[in-house]
Structure 1
Amino acid sequence: MQSILIKNAKIYTMDEKGIIEKGDMLIKDGKISMIDNNINEDADYIIDATGRLVFPGFIDAHSHIGMWEDSLGFEGADGNEDSDPVTPHLRAIDAINPFDRSFEEAIEGGVTCVATGPGSANVIGGQFCVIKTFGKRVDKMVVKEPAAMKVAFGENPKSVYHEKHQMPQTRMATAAILREALFKAREYLNKKLEAQQDEEKDMPEFDMKSESLIKVLTKEIPLKAHAHRADDIFTAIRIAKEFDVNLTLDHVTDGYLIVDELKQENVPCIVGPNLTDRSKVELKNLDFKNPGILSKEGILVAIMTDHPVIPQKYLVLCSALACKSGMDEIDALKAITINPAKILGIDNRVGSLKEGKDADIVIYKGHPFDIFSEVEYVLIDGKVVYHRK
């Protein structure tokens, strides 16, 4: 694989090294090999980044890219199997189309990694995955799969199944359906463990839905909870505690109204999409000040687009507008780099510029929060996948 040397850059490492005012970065075999001043090793390709700013590739912790394809209707809508409110066995990797042009636009916007998966029609929607944004075959783009189990509270599952004249039509029913699925999965898991320990006991009859929820119960992946309104946020936390499972709160529109409670719970918050109209009652408190207020209280915050609600390429713009609304600049940058990496459990590979990590890198002419700034280079796994001529 080609070695690349980036010279004379202002490097935003997004880790303990902070900002390196003038440094070099050597990339070998798709990884960051060295970050230092005046690296003189030979390289196949040299990028003179004098006067340029270098960042880790930007990460969106909540997207549906590839699931609802650009410029298509029903033919490209593969994110909601709204024929059954409980579908934990559905996997995002079976629906993503890497040839959707939104991936190319994401790269041009500096977005190199996304968590993408089912929407919020169902109480349990299915399994999210984390992928790089460059590639032709999703299997080769995967960073983590499964990465989370999507669940939804509030008006989305209510409205979908109200039209079908079936449960859930109330918030009580949504909570009850989720609890029932988790109870069944826990019982299924216990029977499997008993059978493994006692040869006289039979394995339970295979149940694909319960099988899919085992990684939630064993804390290998979290529940990824769609929750806008404060009461729905608290219901998500309540159920996660009942079953002792990990949780991320996604959307969290009312978060700044209950920041004292969220600080006590110490649950990661993936905030957004904010660059939209208040199209439904759950969005009446929508405000770009939300992520900054949460972040200032020490809550781990990521900013999302919820693509295609906001096009994937505008992730950085969402972060800039949060900064404009009071979020600290570095915190706003962390909310699209190291924070989503931590929340998704992939910070050992991406999210900051550090020796040994994947060489997912964005080189900017100007600061990314300046609307007139431009992405000049994007590297994914040490390969130049975009170069603005």
Structure 2
Amino acid sequence: MLFKNATIYTMEQDPFVGDFRIDKGVFTEIGKDLNPKDEEVQDLNGLYVFPGLIDAHSHLGMVCSSIGFEGEDGNEVTDPITPNIRGIDGCNPMDETIELALKSGVTTVAAGPGSANVIGGTFFAYKTAGHCIDEMTIQNPLAMKAAFGENPKRCYQGKKIDTRMQISALLRETLAKTKEYIQKKESGKDVDYDQKLEAMIPVLKKQMPLKCHCHRADDILTVIRIAKEYDIEVTLDHVTDGRSIIPQIKESGFPCILGPCLGHKSKYEVKNI
């Protein structure tokens, strides 16, 4: 099919009014004044065309619609340190929310565990079209989830975490143990297999980032501080108070993933949204 006279956003150049051709669901040509071939032609005058939207921090498929407990697979709230769990194992590709996301233009998501745990497990990236998560997946693992601030404090209050200091201490302990574990393995020494530390090796080797849930400015700065201490890559996710420390974030060089922005002030950490 040939679509004409749409306002096209390629994301690589300024938007323009033009045409595009699709064959078997794939864009094959984009330009201006394309001549019809042996194909159906539709006029999209007044309409806008965008590439598929990407949600870089999502729990789509991890928390299912209309099920309740049976579909709550976003947080393993049994231990604040769970790097060995994998988001792909908790994602239900049959849930209606994935189809709704696709119909709304979201074609790719990075999904994984929520923010209950200090270290929550691995994120993965998948396309929202399909019914088999293994076939929909485009990268696994993608990142290791970590969380700072209110969520781990609330989920483990009175048990293993009461302050932000303990969140940082638990993360540092895991990073230090992983570093020691790597050194022993690479030196040829006998070392007992540790599933959690094995999962953290790609983070210490900068093969994947630590994907850090952080709203408040002090939590953002703590992420940056620890990342520099252990020479690891991180992404700053949510970054609600980021505008108050722009120079420090810019100097760190770490990428930010903002949002979600279309919600209310659901807790103290997002009061400045």
What's the TM-score, normalizing by structure 1?
0.66
Corresponding residue number in structure 2 for 1:145: 140
Contact 1:115–1:131 (CA<8 Å) still a contact in 2? yes
Residues 306-330 of structure 1 show CA distances to partners (whole Å, capped at 9, x for unaligned) of xxxxxxxxxxxxxxxxxxxxxxxxx
The answer to whether structure 1 residue 282 and structure 2 residue 269 are counterparts is yes
Corresponding residue number in structure 2 for 1:205: 192
The answer to whether structure 1 residue 172 and structure 2 residue 162 are counterparts is no
Cα shift at 1:33: 3.7
Corresponding residue number in structure 2 for 1:387: none
The answer to whether structure 1 residue 106 and structure 2 residue 101 are counterparts is yes
Across the aligned residues of Structure 1 and Structure 2, the Cα RMSD in angstroms comes to 2.1
- 1:1-389 equivalences under 5 Å are 5-15=2-12, 17-27=13-23, 32-40=27-35, 48-162=43-157, 165-195=158-188, 201-202=189-190, 204-286=191-273
The number of equivalent residue pairs is 273
What is the rounded CA distance, in whole Å, between the counterparts of 1:47 and 1:141 in structure 2?
Answer: 30
Cα shift at 1:262: 1.6
* CA spacing shift, 1:41–1:94, aligned 2, 3 Å: farther
Report the AA paired with residue 102 of structure 1. Answer: T
Contact 1:24–1:38 (CA<8 Å) still a contact in 2? no
Identity within the alignment, %: 52
- Unaligned ranges ≥5, structure 2: none
- Unaligned ranges ≥5, structure 1: 196-200, 287-389
Corresponding residue number in structure 2 for 1:379: none
Residues 337-371 of structure 1 show CA distances to partners (whole Å, capped at 9, x for unaligned) of xxxxxxxxxxxxxxxxxxxxxxxxxxxxxxxxxxx
SS of equivalent to 2:50? strand
* CA spacing shift, 1:10–1:276, aligned 2, 3 Å: closer
What is the rounded CA distance, in whole Å, between the counterparts of 1:43 and 1:239 in structure 2?
Answer: 60
What is the rounded CA distance, in whole Å, between the counterparts of 1:179 and 1:45 in structure 2?
Answer: 60
What's the TM-score, normalizing by structure 2?
0.92
Residues 98-137 of structure 1 show CA distances to partners (whole Å, capped at 9, x for unaligned) of 1111112112211111111101110001111111111111
What is the rounded CA distance, in whole Å, between the counterparts of 1:13 and 1:123 in structure 2?
Answer: 38
Contact 1:68–1:77 (CA<8 Å) still a contact in 2? yes
Cα shift at 1:150: 0.6
* CA spacing shift, 1:46–1:104, aligned 2, 3 Å: farther
What is the rounded CA distance, in whole Å, between the counterparts of 2:44 and 2:136 in structure 1?
Answer: 28
Report the AA paired with residue 20 of structure 2. Answer: D
What is the rounded CA distance, in whole Å, between the counterparts of 1:54 and 1:275 in structure 2?
Answer: 22
Deviates more, 1:35-44 or 1:216-225: 35-44
Contact 2:17–2:32 (CA<8 Å) still a contact in 1? no
Contact 2:211–2:235 (CA<8 Å) still a contact in 1? yes
SS of equivalent to 1:18? coil
